Structure 1
Amino acid sequence: MALSFVITTSLFVILCLLHYYRCLARNLSTAKASGIPYVVLPWNVFHLFWLATHTVWLPILELLPTSWTSSWLRFMHPEWAYLLGYKVFEDLGTDIFLTVSSGRLQLFIADAEVINQVTTRRNDFPKPLQMYKRLDIYGKNVVSTEGSTWRQHRKVTAPSFSEKNNELVFTETLHHAQALLRLWTDPSGREIKTIQDPAADTMRFALYVISRAGFGVRVLWPHEENEKQTGGPYETFVGSKPPPGHKLSYKDAISSLLENIMWTQVFPKWFLANSPFKFHKTIYTAMLEWGKYMEELYEAKKLEINSGQKTEGLDLFGALINGSGTMAGQKQALSDSDILGNAFVFMLAGHETTANVLHFSMVYLALNCSSQKHLQEDTDRILNGKPVNEWAYEEEFPKFFAGMGAAVMNETLRVMQPIINIPKSTEKGRPQTITVQGSQLVVPGDCTVSLNAAAVHRNPRYWPCVSEGSRNDLDQFRPERWLLKTNESNPSSTSNHTEEFDDEDMTGPSGPDTSSFLFKPVKGSYIPFSEGYRSCLGRRFSQVEILAAFAVIFREYSVELAVDEFATDEQIESMPKGGSERMKIWQKAADRADYLLRNTCTSIITLQMRDHHIPLRVVKRGSERFFFE
């Protein structure tokens, strides 16, 4: 019996090894024939098993002799693209290369021209839809579809992101940014609060903005719940208590779902519902509850539309329903489930990226005091003392978009991209020819294609340096690189053109990606919102929200690193202001923050700092403890 088991096991292992060798040899032969430089890996880094267990195996692999692992070990960390940036491409001497394993061929691109080829040839390089099928929690959507189905979704969803909606985003951001400051600060100025987890607060802020601008629902902060609320006839106010018929409040349902979205991507609904783990069942409950809220909002907005109430220029959900043809007697362009699917994707995509940019910007500005002062001075110049209640989108936003606030936003998106590797693919049996610096190369069929934002955003072929005497400061946060010198023409002005599409229904998001008054990157070299037909529809939505939030925060306040871990408030106050003692304490906090930014972020949907925090303090301008020239 034992002998039989040993023989069976041995045969199974031998067959597995033969299959592994055969697949690796096949993929290696394909890579050689492509003409593209390649790196051979022992297995597919993005396989689910490796993603779940790499922390166990990597320390073991690192014990092997360097001569065995030098060519491939650094690629075995799933976050290698974020950790290493452009250095990998620089070391390989190429801006495009393949990784080859027995399970997968994967192409990584840090060449702007090639990126442009891929994004404009959407039929040749479609999205790998298997990566997005779990986003169909409530229905198909513009993210999870391709071909003619995607065209229909795009045609209906794109008009929702209008200038009227951007105006609503601006107004709602002003409200919630002021509410966020009330959470972070003591209006009397007698107490300075340490914000232990600013990322969680910016996530709530962005969620509340998209809730109103996306769904017409004003979510109340805890300190607002006892205050009288007023709003338009379309406005719904929700607090922390669930309404009749619900187990969770509106904000608890969506917060719980979005904070745990990873589990919905790993496990199907039936597993979460029957899992022995309580938090899985909580996520399932949140999925059901948010679905009920969306259905209720859907029915309410259909009544508004059919009764002739004005919906154009209000929330995204209303515009989406109106554009899909819900008027009595019309044929709907999208099914009810498709409308709900797109509404969910609006919510998911509409808050994470913005929240991350606001969080990381504040940390970088706390680390770079001169850039923060520059932002404050530019904000003062633009507003000239005008109170918040007099700000107007059409007047203020263009100025913000052409100033230091936009430079800070753009630079944060450059060094801390929401999506590190933007995924594309080639279909099985359909290899595609690309041109790389004048040479024709072949991308194999059934190949995953990654537009490596972390690398192309640091490629010295496309970006100016700021630091004098520095050969390359592209790993550093330097928003001044976006500011053109007085009377200097835009060095890349020839690339500042309007995107051309083959169908007027397939147009991209409104407005340019960067202002003509700022440095204009070469097309394909700056892709935080992707590029081409599949670029992010909510780009302008996010830009408006970020810049309005900057203006509210930095017109009266400064952001500093909290140093509670290294010294008490009393100890800091006893040190001379601007002296070396304070500087040493600040430097400890700065070194810790810099390390965490460079080494601890992970990608699930977007790049975030999930298991670590960089505490901050928001203080009145003029009361800074750690502003050093």
Structure 2
Amino acid sequence: MPSNRTILSFLLIPILAITAARIYALAVNYRKARKLGIPIVVVPVSWQDAFWVLAHPHLRRFRKVPGLRNIINFGHHSWAQDDRYRPHQEHGDIFAIVSPGTTEIAVNDPTLAVDVQSHWRTWQKPPPVYEIFDVFGPNVISLNGEDWQRHRRIANPAFREQNNKLVWDESSRQANQMVQVMMDRASGAGRTMLQVRDDCVLIAMHVLSAAGFGHLHEFDGGFREIPKGHNTSLAEALKYLLQNIIFGIILKNIPVLRWVFPRSYQELTAMRNEFTQYMRELIAYNRAITQGGGSSKSADIVSALVEADEAAKRDHKAAAHGSKPNHLTDAELLGDLFIFNLAGFETTANALTYTLPFLATNRSVQDWVGEEIDMVLKGQEPGKSDYEETFPSLVRCLALMYETLRLWGPVSQTNRWCVGEPCSLRIGDKEVEVPPETYVTLNVYAVHSDPRWWGKDNLEWKPQRWITTDPKTGKEMIAPPPTGTTFVPWSAGPRICPGKKFSQVEFVAVISTLLKEYRLEPMALEGKTKEEAGAALIEVLEDSMNVITPKMRRPEDAGVVFVKR
């Protein structure tokens, strides 16, 4: 029988071996990083370490302990969301974060933020970061090079003005129904931020269902419709997949966990199969129309995507023999359809969720936006305004979105690397040669909040900063960002989000519909004054974590009230 010492030795050997390997890898990466000629921050863990990703949420409370701050902050992929521009005040506008897994170059420079994202051939999206989004197949977000170009050519026609009109009409209808349902159920009682998040998610889901797939639902109970041959509705399957995206990614990359969570894995698989079946049916239906010589009259994304793909197939057949296919496979179509829904769902639902608390605690901003809404929507029925006439005039409503995305945009940082040959980064008079496959992290939240560009009110929510007057017409218009900086919540350059206007139209439609009839106040909290309840609401908002996009940690601790104007 082995002694306790022998057992301990067997346990210690692999631990010591792993530790030694990590120390060696850290030393190698540090030696390489010194050649960059920029400040270096050394951390023993990183966002690439699965064990650390799981442990990090429980260790955040120790961030202020001397010696642990850098480890806890830079060891997680959301460090830019937590600290914004502050690390750059300490370490400079460009510095290296060195861990056993990799070297990451952190950059806070508006010019580089645009330049790197614009030169997509040189600076590519690192597959280790973006392949996690290949849930149903390669897609326009995860791919690089010629494959990305092929996807982009097919995807662009899907986001057309005809689709934006559908988004406007459905968003207005859903927002009007949402408030009516809430008022009927609660007689004007408050909604916690957890409930507000659910309401905004439901609106986003229903708009995606209509604009993406041509399926209309009522706000209250719209997920119940189950067609023959299915076990759940399309909206319910999509909702489940989007809200469990992180869990699905973990199970995909760590297969052993499927045995640890068998029931959850079975449910995830069932929902995935349902969504796949729905998409294949929609693709086949629209493909049959197009191949039969017809054209779908629908404005939804699936119809437009299939039409564009079939046109690409015809072009390929007519091209010279041996030319590369320029259409998409069914797996790629599925991949694009899912990623469009993920991006649209997260961006708009989050922007709405984070805007409402700001409005509830800023009566002057509500009055300011209300002036515009009353003028533009005067005499129109709630939820029934005309897109072409109304959307371009609601610039103050759009300014709300811009300011919320400036502070709480969907992407706090974005990664790129170069492949094959070294690339150079220039900040001011300093030029840094970046080795191939070295992560370059563009700190979006720093670019959006650094006081050097945004002034002393850089962290204040002030939508008025986005409004200026057109000198030719005298009308209000969206102002450019301050001199010296940029605004990139939808990325920049050729890889800018194709659904940018989709999200803007949806946001403005919902906000204008809500504020036409109602104003917002902080939800009353026991033992607190109205001012204290407002402060608690903003405190809950600012205590956010990163799960794909920002999420409030304690959304049940505060809320808002809709009050009839």
Partner of 1:423, secondary structure, is strand
Q: 1:59 to 1:476 in 2, by over 3 A?
A: closer
Q: 1:42 to 1:300 in 2, by over 3 A?
A: same
Equivalent residue for 2:428, pick from 424, 434, 437: 437
TM-fit CA distance, 1:611: 5.0
Structure 2: distance between partners of 1:359 and 1:56: 25
After superposition, what is the alpha-carbon deviation per residue over 1:169-218, rounded to whole angstroms, capped at 9, x for unaligned? 1122122121222222249xx92132231011101101111111111111
Q: 1:398 to 1:444 in 2, by over 3 A?
A: same
TM-fit CA distance, 1:153: 0.8
TM-fit CA distance, 1:168: 1.8
Q: Are 1:84 and 2:44 counterparts?
A: no
Amino acid at match of 2:82: L
Q: 1:274 to 1:245 in 2, by over 3 A?
A: farther
Q: 1:286 to 1:397 in 2, by over 3 A?
A: same
TM-fit CA distance, 1:272: 7.7
Equivalent residue for 1:557, pick from 518, 529, 544: 518
Give RMSD over aligned pairs. 2.9
Q: Are 1:397 and 2:370 counterparts?
A: no
Q: Are 1:182 and 2:180 counterparts?
A: yes
Equivalent residue for 1:540, pick from 487, 495, 501: 501
Amino acid at match of 1:38: I
Amino acid at match of 1:360: Y
1:527 alignment counterpart? 488
After superposition, what is the alpha-carbon deviation per residue over 1:206-250, rounded to whole angstroms, capped at 9, x for unaligned? 111111111111123336x6xxxxxxxxxxxxx504222212122
Structure 2, unaligned runs of 5 or more? 318-325
Point out the structure with the larger helix share. 2
Structure 2: distance between partners of 1:352 and 1:447: 28
TM-fit CA distance, 1:14: 4.5
Amino acid at match of 2:539: Y
Partner of 2:414, secondary structure, is strand
Q: 1:312 to 1:134 in 2, by over 3 A?
A: farther
Equivalent residue for 2:95, pick from 94, 97, 115: 97
1:593 alignment counterpart? 537
After superposition, what is the alpha-carbon deviation per residue over 1:397-450, rounded to whole angstroms, capped at 9, x for unaligned? 1111xx2112111000001111111222233x6332111112211223322222
1:280 alignment counterpart? 265
Partner of 2:224, secondary structure, is coil
Number of equivalenced pairs: 549
Q: 1:534 to 1:191 in 2, by over 3 A?
A: same
Structure 2: distance between partners of 1:182 and 1:487: 41
2:310 alignment counterpart? 325
TM-fit CA distance, 1:588: 2.3
Structure 1, unaligned runs of 5 or more? 226-238, 466-471, 491-514, 568-583, 622-629
TM-fit CA distance, 1:594: 1.7
1:151 alignment counterpart? 149
- Is the Cα contact below 8 Å between 1:481 and 1:519 reproduced in 2? no
Q: What are the equivalent positions in structure 2 for 1:179-218 lying under 5 Å apart?
A: 179-186=177-184, 191-196=187-192, 197-218=195-216
TM-fit CA distance, 1:121: 2.0
After superposition, what is the alpha-carbon deviation per residue over 1:43-79, rounded to whole angstroms, capped at 9, x for unaligned? 224422111012455567866xx2x446655434553
- Is the Cα contact below 8 Å between 2:517 and 2:564 reproduced in 1? yes
Q: Are 1:605 and 2:548 counterparts?
A: yes
1:20 alignment counterpart? 22
After superposition, what is the alpha-carbon deviation per residue over 1:439-492, rounded to whole angstroms, capped at 9, x for unaligned? 2112233222222121111112332x4xxxxxx1211211111123796999xx
Structure 2: distance between partners of 1:167 and 1:80: 38
Q: What are the equivalent positions in structure 2 for 1:114-129 lying under 5 Å apart?
A: 114-129=112-127
Structure 2: distance between partners of 1:25 and 1:40: 10
Q: Are 1:566 and 2:563 counterparts?
A: no
TM-fit CA distance, 1:316: 1.0
TM-fit CA distance, 1:610: 5.4
Q: 1:480 to 1:302 in 2, by over 3 A?
A: same
TM-fit CA distance, 1:386: 3.1
Equivalent residue for 1:422, pick from 404, 414, 417: 414
2:31 alignment counterpart? 29
- Is the Cα contact below 8 Å between 2:414 and 2:442 reproduced in 1? yes
Q: What are the equivalent positions in structure 2 for 1:121-520 lying under 5 Å apart?
A: 121-186=119-184, 191-196=187-192, 197-222=195-220, 239-268=223-252, 276-311=261-296, 314-325=299-310, 333-388=327-382, 391-400=385-394, 403-427=395-419, 430-463=421-454, 465=455, 472-484=456-468, 517-520=478-481
Structure 1 length as normaliser, TM-score?
Answer: 0.81
